[in-house]
Amino acid sequence: MRLSFDQAGHALRAPSRLHAFNRYEIKYLVDAALVPALREEFARRLDADSHAGADGYGVWSVYYDTPGLRFYWEKIEGLRFRRKLRLRHYGDRFAVTDDTTVYVEIKQRVNRVTQKRRVPLPYGTARRLCDERTMVAHDGAQRAFLEEVLGLVSGLDLRPVTVTGYQREAFVGRDADVGLRVTLDHRIRGRDRDFHLGADAQNRLVVPASRSILEVKANDRVPYWMTDLAARTNLSVARVSKYCQSVEAFGRAPRSIFHVRDDVGE
């Protein structure tokens, strides 16, 4: 049974039993010239993510949206409650097969708090769920979340809209900063076709190579040293979304006032 727009929206606001992350997030658009100094400061105060190598790791995501780009417009309009559905892979995209573990994620914003819920699935299984709209085998703990995803893709007629990818450096807090996570994302690319994560497809920059995105994620509050660092380096909070950047870069929607121009810093 297909839910109406209003019914689906109401149903998706119901709480799920799978809550992986609840955090405050702050984003900054960073000039490449500042990255070495920031990296040095983070290395001094934080621990490197245990999953990252010397050069970080790749992050590749397929984003789903409605034919009218409902999730895109919810972000642009700054709705207090908004969400995104994506499939995410960490690592080498060319190594992705149907057996590769990916994450099915619902990322949503409730007022100022970001909630991310996800389950790991083999890529072929995740595609059956999200693309073929078929319930897949699961353990008991996953059932409610997978039913929510299936209701989302079926009720709102979701389909892949864009793929994004970038190289990520990640740091995690220690001692008084436990729960803090800081990431630097470089070479942010995207494509509007060939939505298989492992496709040998051409991507293009959707944020200029001269810019990286710094994200600070905290459970309760951002530490003073981080806000002081932002002030000393003249960083300004930016409402930049990799998903929205990709949608706009490929002409799926008019460029918003939050779009990072292609000629910035060039």
Q: Average pLDDT for residues 239-263, to the nearest whole number? A: 93
Q: Exposure pattern of 45-61 as b/e (b: 16+ CB <10 Å)?
A: bbeebeebeeebebbbb
pLDDT of residue 24: 86
pLDDT of residue 59: 97
Q: In which band, very low, low, confident or very high, does the pLDDT at 21 lie, cut at 50, 70 and 90?
A: low
Evaluate whether 82 touches 70 at the Cβ level (below 8 Å): no
pLDDT of residue 23: 82
- Summarised one tens digit per residue, pLDDT across range 27-60 is 999 999 999 999 999 999 999 998 777 789 999 9
Evaluate whether 146 touches 49 at the Cβ level (below 8 Å): no
Q: Average pLDDT for residues 117-130, to the nearest whole number? A: 97
- Helix runs in the chain, H state only: 5-11, 35-45, 70-76, 123-130, 143-155, 224-232, 242-249
Instruction: Please report, for the chain, the start and end positions of each structural domain, with discontinuous segments joined by +.
Output: 5-249
Residues 6 or more apart in contact with residue 7 via CB below 8 angstroms: 155
Q: In which band, very low, low, confident or very high, does the pLDDT at 261 lie, cut at 50, 70 and 90?
A: confident
Question: How is domain 5-249 classified at the architecture level of CATH?
Answer: Alpha-Beta Barrel (3.20)
- Summarised one tens digit per residue, pLDDT across range 129-150 is 999 999 998 888 899 999 999 9
Q: Average pLDDT for residues 199-209, to the nearest whole number? A: 96
98: left (phi over 0), alpha (psi -120 to 50) or beta: alpha
67 has pLDDT over 70: yes
